[in-house]
Structure 1
Amino acid sequence: WARHGIMTTNLAEAYNAILRKLRPLPLTAIVEGIMYRTTMWMRTRRAVTLQQMSNAQTPFCKKMAEYLQEKANKARFHTVITIGNIRQRWEVTCRTKGGFGSSTGVITHEVTLGHESDNTCSCSCNKPKLLHKPCSHVLAACAKIKLDSTSYVSTFYLKDRVLNV
Structure 2
Amino acid sequence: MTTNIVESINSVLRFARMLPVVHLIDEITNMLLYWFSQRRDLARKCQSTLCPDLGEKKLRKRLDAASRMNVVKINDEEYNVLDGDMNGLVNLQNRSCTCRKFDLEQLPCKHAIAVCRHLKLNPYSLASSYYTRATWAAAYAEFIYLVPPQGTWVIPDHLHNIKILPPLSKVMPGRRKTQRIPSKGEDRRENKCSRCGVKGHYQNTCKQSFLVTNKQQVA
TM-score range, shorter chain: 0.5 to 0.7
Inter-CA distance 20–62: structure 2 relative to 1 (3 Å threshold)? closer
Inter-CA distance 151–32: structure 2 relative to 1 (3 Å threshold)? same
Inter-CA distance 107–40: structure 2 relative to 1 (3 Å threshold)? same
TM-score by length of 2: 0.53
User: 1:100: which partner in 2?
Assistant: none
Give the distance between the partners of 1:21 and 1:148, measured in 2 at CA.
Answer: 40
Q: Report how many residues are paired.
A: 135
- SS of the residue aligned with 1:90? strand
User: 2:106: which partner in 1?
Assistant: 132
Residue 111 (1) aligns with residue 90 (2): yes
Pick the aligned partner of 1:89 from 74, 78, 83. 78
Inter-CA distance 140–14: structure 2 relative to 1 (3 Å threshold)? same
What do you get for the CA RMSD once the two structures are aligned? 2.5
Inter-CA distance 159–108: structure 2 relative to 1 (3 Å threshold)? same
List structure 1 runs of 4+ shifted beyond 3 angstroms: 29-39
Share of identical aligned residues, percent? 23
User: 1:69: which partner in 2?
Assistant: 60
Unaligned runs of at least 5 residues, structure 2: 140-219
Inter-CA distance 34–91: structure 2 relative to 1 (3 Å threshold)? farther
TM-score by length of 1: 0.67
Which amino acid in structure 1 is aligned with residue 123 of structure 2?
S
- Once the two structures are superposed, residues 116-156 of structure 1 have per-residue CA deviations (whole angstroms, 9 ceiling, x without a partner) of xxxx5111122222222111111011111111222111112
Give the distance between the partners of 2:136 and 2:61, measured in 1 at CA.
Answer: 21
Inter-CA distance 47–78: structure 2 relative to 1 (3 Å threshold)? same
Unaligned runs of at least 5 residues, structure 1: 1-7, 96-105, 115-119
User: 5 Å matches for 1:10-159?
Assistant: 11-12=2-3, 14-20=5-11, 22-23=13-14, 25-26=18-19, 28=21, 31-52=25-46, 55=47, 58-63=48-53, 64-83=55-74, 85-86=75-76, 88-95=77-84, 106-114=85-93, 120-159=94-133
